[in-house]
Chains A and B, each alone.
Chain A
Amino acid sequence: MNNQASFNTDVAVIGAGPVGLFCVFQCGMLKMSTHVIDALPATGGQCTALYPEKPIYDIPAAPAINAQDLIRKLEAQIKPFKPEVHLDQQVVALERQGQQWQLTTASGMSITAKAVIIAAGAGAFGPNKPPLANIGQYEGKTVHYLVQNRELFRDQRLVIAGGGDSAVDWALSLADIAAHIYVVHRRDKFRALPENVDQMRALAEQGKLELVIPYQLANLEGQDDQLTAVHVKTLKGEERRLEADHLLSFFGLVNKLGPINDWGLNIHNGLIQVEPTTCATNLPGVFAVGDIAGYPHKLKLILSGFAEVAQAAHAAFAYVYPNEALHFEHSTSTGVPAPQAQ
């Protein structure tokens, strides 16, 4: 995936969780344009990725609202400001360019901005990779975190690791094309659709795949990017060597600060330290809000994040319009731009 597009904006927002989305509104009210970037293929951050169906009870004036509905309503609220949202790409670099900041994403897109608001939660969502030595050398070639092309696995020996829906679904789907499948899981219980688990156990009884339980991944054997075997072990230390051409690792999503650690920000235990009245970080024109912002007595709540966004947007104004006075106004006086027919 390569994407050489480049954009210019007043404020670049890293993260499209609830707090990142609300940045579009607050900046928009102060006549600042925004571009929002997220590593996930959808907006909503934790609300969408972890608990879309759960009701949230502590959003002011919404006695109960499903996480997914909260995101839909935020999107409706920011729509008048014509948000530019770039999904499925992680911001990997943040560099000073004169008086501005340049952000670069993993796919090569770049955004130049007068101010940056980091609303990155606990970091970019990505695959939860098992901490195996040298796993990086096989990634993309013989170690996979998602399946893009089933045909790659025809007549291949596979180790599928994990105990959730992805592991079970792919074991079922690949059983008739793979040469052999080992399903490695730490316990006999799978947290997946019961029908599918039953079907997988039936295939195991017919010898179409092998359940390797209760084992965990221990290490990888191979050369260059070609895997030859996966070593697994039990809690008691019993080991097995499973000959395999590919490892499909399905341990869900995790957040990683990753590159954010390298931008020169003051980070403590995963939180970017900010001055709480402005959400300013130690870098000029760079603000942090929401779950990733750290200050004494911080509460990781959506409502705190929203308030931080208002503080940050007002403080960012000085970087976007250095020569203009900022007048405080209520939304009841300014209104919002009229929705335009698209």
Chain B
Amino acid sequence: MIQKKVCMVGVFGTGKTSLVQQFVHTRFSEKYHSTVGVKIDRKVVELKGGEVTIVLWDLAGRDKDEDIGASYVRGAHGVIYVADGTRKETCEQVADLQRVATAAAGAVPAVIALNKCDLVADWALSSADEAALAARGTLFRTSAKSGEGVEAMFLAMATALIASPEGA
């Protein structure tokens, strides 16, 4: 059995828990459940190269941007950064989060989920902002609510995990 540890990293309220819920259980809830500490879920993904079990660490989004608990990210095989398109500042914070996570986990595959794309009309994001984000990793527009882009984003992560001979 191949297992990979993947951490969801992002400011609180960006939709980390919702994305995991959507991917693993195909459900969405409008209610906001503040995640305490960390919640772990897993999903077996079928790829051309074989099966891989993704163990998802959904970290608590705390108030302070960079306070993501380095020890949780340690040993991660991949990191998914989540930003909220309706909140510009969450996109800018990705840079700080990535710095902290890379220090703990090394240069592992990274995917960026620009979430809440169902609300794209309310987005306050210039194309330059989005391009800046895309420079930090493979960018996916996702919606944990409609499910759009969620599967694609996680599959891209899984593929990267199988492809990369670990960079740590």
**A and B: bona fide binding partners:** no
Chain B residues at the A interface, C-beta cutoff of 8 Å? none
